[in-house]
Structure 1
Amino acid sequence: MSAKKSLAGLGLVMLAGFGISPLAGAVAAKRGLINDDDRFMALRDAAFHDDTFNAEQHAAALKNYEIPSYVDYYRLRSHLAKATNAEMREFLNKYEGTAIADRLRNDWLLLLGRRGEWDLFDQQYPLFVVADDNQVRCYSLLSKAVKQQKVAAEARNLLNSPRDYGEGCYALVTYLTANNQFNQNDLWTQMRMAGENAALPLAQRLGKLLEIPDRQVTDAIDKPALLLKKGPDVGRTAHELYLIALGRNAKNDHEQAAATLTRYSSQFSESERAMGWAQIALQAALKLEPEALGYWQKASNAPLSLEAFQWRVRTALREGDWKLVKSSIDNMPASLKSDPAWVYWLGRALKAEGKNEEARALFTSIADQLHFYGQLSLEELGQKIGVPAAVKPVTPEEIAPMEKNANLQRALKFYAMNLRFEGTREWNWELRKMSERQHLAAAELARQNNLLDRMVNTSDRTKGELDFSQRYPTPFNDSMYKTTQSLGLDMAWVYGLIRQESRFIMNAKSHVGASGLMQLMPATARYVAKKIGLGNFVPAQVNDVDTNIALGTNYLNMVLTDLGGSQALASAAYNAGPGRPRAWRAKLTRPVEGAIFAETIPFNETRGYVKNVLSNATYYAALFEKKPQSLKTRLGTVIPKGMTAGDPDLP
């Protein structure tokens, strides 16, 4: 399994983030565009290749197509950069209030921001419903700044993901600097984040604002060893770049970076030394090095990125330093501190100090939330995890309006064409208007159309009306029961994993090629097929449900055995490959509870994956066994030892 594999199985082959089948136009052409759906696919393909001529030809032939708004959108999309404001207004006037109109407004706002048409931007921005585009947010602040408004504080809160900036956020930083809303400290804060994330394009742009030659910036981030061969030169620029280079060097050799900082310690101020140790600490923490704890302690009150704030806590958890856990969470920005993860771990730190009432208050504040930390908090309050009382099933009378709903029917049409990106956009757009009962009815419509991922995701939105038969379905139960029983494998865990892997999309395929319910990579499928004696196996068989279940469960059983029966380790192995959790465990200095191991997995995707799989499995077990369960028991304890048995060839 690849650590970059899609968690929910919705990462179907994508182009430019729009769900394009790169060969859609070619396939349609070979098939002779035998129907309007073929023609629509060809239009869509032309649009995303900026092929205005063919887009116009296809659109002209689709005058009577059942989804005219998308015909008009893809026609316009084919020449978006050259589209006039009049064309944009015409489309929005015609389709206002629809999902695709909101999509076009997103496109238009980006164009208006690039062009600096701020009056029109300000008219349109409040009408942008989804409002999830970071560049548009940056342009919104830039528009305010151009009008002499103070936006520096908002900008500092927004500009914390260097890899997602784009032109809008670069322009915001540039303008705020030129107009004295951002100072040198702000620019160096951004530069340090660029260094942490190896975001060289951002660093080079910042370098220009700081009047630093490109070569020096590039050397600090891409060739840190060259810069560190000698001591730091004098001046803030030299010191800041040297400290960034220390962090970059620590990614490969934290001990050498620490020795270098120690050697030249006297040449830095106290605050610079703290920043240097913070740079080294973060990289050592991401490598799970035990020395990271000491580095964090030396970092003292250094300014930290959001990522660094969280990894300081994770290091303290892994090393059992509850005092540092508490102080580190206390010092987090409010936006992080309120996250359920840090509410839970702060509660644990308070409990370790004997402050039981304060801890209980924190656990109680999230114990009703249906996720990993809510479940753990419930157990801290002395309860186990059960299934909520069943709600009244939705009736045919409640489902009937869903069957007639134009937006949901449009979504179903897109799903039938395997256009999941468009289908999900339309589906979610309609959910915004619904009550919880209507959500359950829409989820039931999804079930009737064999869209189990939509059923799960739609039902997951409710807070009062809870239907766990929708949230935690058990399709292919006979095959699953037979296979797991023969292997002695926990069926609840397997279902929990499938729910996370593919959301029960039978033909799910990730961007790295993992396929089917259990998202098997081709090499893994071949390996397991050979191991279990599945003769004449061919790759296409991986999408057969029974074969996928057989291969996936056997592989899961292999990694479970290889990793000593730990579901936490085996779940990580299924996502990231067995070698990585072995290495992560080998870095432990003491036994840790499974929740701490999961929290300190260095891959963001795998960390979330393991927590979600085991949370799912706990609910499935409660459903199957009809009694409350313990997530803590399922997580178990992870012991720092090398493997004593296992298959070294396991992929």
Structure 2
Amino acid sequence: MKHVLAFLLVMAAVTAQAAGTDKDFLAAREAYRIGNEARLNTYAKRLRGHLLEPYVLYYQLKIRLDHASAEDVEAFIASHRDSPLSERLRAAWLKVLAKSERWDLFEQRLPDLRDADLELTCYALQSRARTNPDEVLEEARPIWFVTGRLPESCEPLMEALRASGALSPDDVWTRIRYALEAGRVSLARRLAKQLPAGEAPAPRVLEAARSNPGGYLERGRFNLKHRGGRETVMFAAHRLARTSPSQAARHWENLEDRFSPEERGYVWSLIGYLGARAHGPGALEWYSRAGENLSDRQLAWKVRAGLRAGAWPEVLAAIDAMTEEGSEQPAWRYWKARALMESGRTHAAEQILKPLATEFNFYGQLAVEELGGRIEAPVASYRPSTVEVDEMSQLIGLRRALELYRLGQRIDANREWRWAIRGFDDKQLLAAAEVAYRYENYDRAISTASRTVLLHDFSLRYPAPYREVLRTHAEQFALDEAWIYGLIRQESRFIVNARSQAGARGLMQLMPSTASWVAHRLGLKNWRWSRMTDVDTNINLGTYYMRHVLDALDGHTVLASAGYNAGPRRARAWRPESAIEGAVYAETIPFTETRNYVKRVMANTTYYANNFSQELQSLKQRLGIIHERDAGGERPLGDTP
């Protein structure tokens, strides 16, 4: 009895000590975040020898990096090559060197960096411009056309381009167009100051076109004698097309004869693109007026408009017009094959489908079925031994990652994990995935197992934790277990306390308003938002909402998956005017996030059904047919969130 008591006392002391060091590490991290170097140094003393001491040392060095010696920085990088902290410090140090114009040391250390962001790229060009300005300006020119906000390090290069005459007014107008297309009117106004006198659009007129494009076009008081006036009218047509493509098309038909062929094509390409995204019946006609100067993004939506209309020749022509990089995406390879089959060119279609069928994605599954095969998960031909998994779990990078996960530092943990497994072969990846699974870090198990090239284990790519809880609620609400798992894998990758930027939480990523609505419908007592990280509560609420959305959308899992992500009202609004394949519906969802979401959920569901040895249902059967909307016969949504 005395020995047992002594053991318990020792264990209690160890637990208390661990809790203390946890608090010390989190306090050190907070001190670094707020810039309190004295407090950080106090906690650093307590954390000597700790597994995460490299992070504390990084915090200490980073907080005084502007004044740190090259020797201290390089010593840290050399000592921590097994951690992503070395690369993060190297990038930060290079920026310090550039800002202080220590160019010789900057150029010596830059080649050691694995990946340079745009800020460092511009600093590197600045450094080279000291000795070879003409060559550097030529390399810097493409940066001018970057659509987002440029880092400050790029501004001297842009100024040099302007001063050298390397930027023409057309180049300035191109970037103004990019800014206006993105709705960044203030940036467009700043850029316009670089135009020759008299060419810039009047700020007041530009604002009128932005705030009320339909009214601006209706009034017709334009100055089309100079480019600023013409670009403002084109911007108004584009702005109006965002909400009413057909109205924008009517206005532009009345105006286009007063514009150049290039300007006419430019506006029609925008109206066609936005019309296709809005499922406008006139989209293909609008595209036909745009000419051939279409981007891959615009061509993608021309393909989708063709799919909705059943216009297979248009689908094929649009894909063939894409760049090689664009047309090689799985989606366009699959739809090109389908278009070829529709034209009777079966052999050419099969030559595309056969390699596509080896890929483990939505289009790979569809390709398998087009070739007459059945979707099955590959047999796991290799499983690491217990010894191999134990050895892998002792890898210092994975140990640090697991400790960071335990402390809730997921971003740093993910970085540490990815750094640790870089360069792993298939066997090592599967062993690392087993480590992640053992510690219930299912998202890391999925991402790590999904990196393999030849050896695969789909029980790790498609894990099924919490199955007893999930099965209970699947039976309660008469839902397909495989579909629930397919949805959760996409929503949270089984991270129990997952939080989205929008505020959704838990395994099934319910928003606060949705969770409260469902809790009220279920009559849950003592409901609190904090309960959303409880597995049973989250799955209970999530599966109820799945059932509700499924019933509201004709029992169709494709529509219900879209509705779960974007809301059932949107899923209804996206229904076609005449029946289309479920795959076409999924492909033509206007929201990129929801479009990818639905395809992944349906592909996941197929693999889970295979793993659960359910009666095999093809992906095409699951996708089914989406019929036209029957507004009179729809189930009322009421206050459904």
TM-score (norm 2): 0.88
Q: What is the deviation of 1:83?
A: 5.7
Q: Equivalent residue for 2:22?
A: 37
3-state DSSP class of the match of 1:73?
helix
Deviation at 1:256, TM superposition (A): 3.2
Q: For 1:505-544, what aligned pairs fall within 5 Å after superposition?
A: 505-544=495-534
SS at 2:307 equivalent:
helix
TM-superposition CA deviations, 1:17-57 (whole Å, max 9, x none): xxxxxxxxxxxxxx9x9833323323322333344454445
| Residue of structure 2 equivalent to 1:236 | 227
Name the structure 2 match of 1:67.
Answer: 52
* Residue equivalent to 1:289: 280
> Contact between 1:414 and 1:423, CA under 8 Å: does it hold in 2?
yes
The Cα shift of 1:249 comes to 2.2
Give unmatched runs, 5+ long, in structure 1.
1-30
In structure 2, what is the equivalent of residue 255 of structure 1? 246
CA contact under 8 A between 2:246 and 2:280: conserved in structure 1? no
2:267 is aligned, of 276, 282, 303, to: 276
The 8 Å contact of residues 201 and 229 in structure 2, kept in 1 or not, is answered as: no
- 1:511–1:83 distance in 2 versus 1, CA, 3 Å: farther
**Of the two, which has the highest radius of gyration?**
2
- The offset of 1:396, in angstroms, is 1.2
Task: Give the corresponding residue for 1:190.
Answer: 175
CA distance in 2, matches of 1:68, 1:214: 58
When structure 1 is superposed on structure 2, of 322-331 and 441-450 the one drifting more is: 322-331
Which of 93, 109, 112 does residue 108 from structure 1 map onto?
A: 93
Q: How many angstroms does 1:114 deviate by? A: 5.6
| Distance in structure 2 (CA, Å) of the matches to 1:79 and 1:222 | 46
Q: How does 1:403-482 map to 2 (within 5 A)?
A: 403-482=393-472
- Provide the C-alpha distance between the structure 2 equivalents of 1:340 and 1:604, rounded to a whole number of angstroms: 15
Q: 1:630 aligns with which of 580, 596, 618?
A: 618
Tell me which amino acid in the other structure corresponds to 1:191.
I
**CA, structure 1 residues 170+34, in 2 after alignment: closer, same or farther (shift >3 Å)?**
same
Q: Residues 278-357 of structure 1 correspond to what in structure 2 (within 5 A)?
A: 278-304=269-295, 306-357=296-347
Describe the SS at the equivalent of 2:314. Answer: helix
Q: Report deviation, 1:164.
A: 6.5
Partner secondary structure for residue 47 of structure 1: helix
Deviation (angstroms), 1:421:
0.6
Corresponding residue SS for 1:469? helix
Moved more, 370-379 or 40-49: 40-49
Q: What's the TM-score once normalised by structure 1's chain length?
A: 0.86
Counterpart-to-counterpart distance in 2, 1:317 and 1:115: 56
1:641 and 2:629 matched: yes
1:428 counterpart letter in structure 2: R
- When the two chains are superposed, the root-mean-square deviation of aligned CA atoms in Å is 3.0
Choose the corresponding residue for 1:399, options 363, 368, 389.
389
Looking at structure 2, the residues matched to 388 and 290 of structure 1 have their Cα atoms a distance apart, in angstroms, of: 42
* CA distance in structure 2 between the aligned counterparts of 1:167 and 1:548, rounded to whole angstroms: 45
1:609 aligns with one of 591, 597, 604: 597
Task: Rate the CA distance shift 1:626–1:575 in 2: closer, same or farther, 3 A.
Answer: closer
Q: Tell me, yes or no, if the aligned pair for 1:576 and 1:606 is still in contact at 8 Å.
A: yes
Q: Show the counterpart of 1:378.
A: 368
Matched-pair contact (CA < 8 Å) for 2:421–2:429: yes
2:567 aligns with one of 573, 577, 583? 577
Tell me how far apart the structure 2 counterparts of residues 238 and 85 of structure 1 sit (CA, whole Å): 55
1:389 counterpart = 2:379: yes
Deviation digits for residues 589-646 of structure 1 (CA, Å, limit 9, x no counterpart):
3222111111111112111111111110010111122665421211112122145214
Can you give the 5+ residue segments of structure 2 that lack an aligned partner in the other structure?
Answer: 1-15
Conserved in 2, the CA contact under 8 Å of 1:50 and 1:77?
Answer: no
**% same residue:** 38
Q: How many residues align?
A: 616
> Does the Cα contact within 8 Å between 2:237 and 2:267 map onto a contact in 1?
yes
**Alignment-derived partner of residue 237 in structure 2:** 246
Partner amino acid, structure 2, of 1:70: Y
Higher relative contact order (CA 8 A, sep 6+): 1
Residues 289 and 121 of structure 1: CA distance in aligned 2, closer, same or farther (over 3 Å): farther
Separation of aligned partners in 1, 2:473 and 2:345? 47
Structure 1 pair 581/410, CA: closer, same or farther in 2 (3 Å)?
same
Relative to structure 1, is the Cα distance of residues 224 and 534 closer, same or farther in structure 2, using a 3 angstrom cutoff? closer
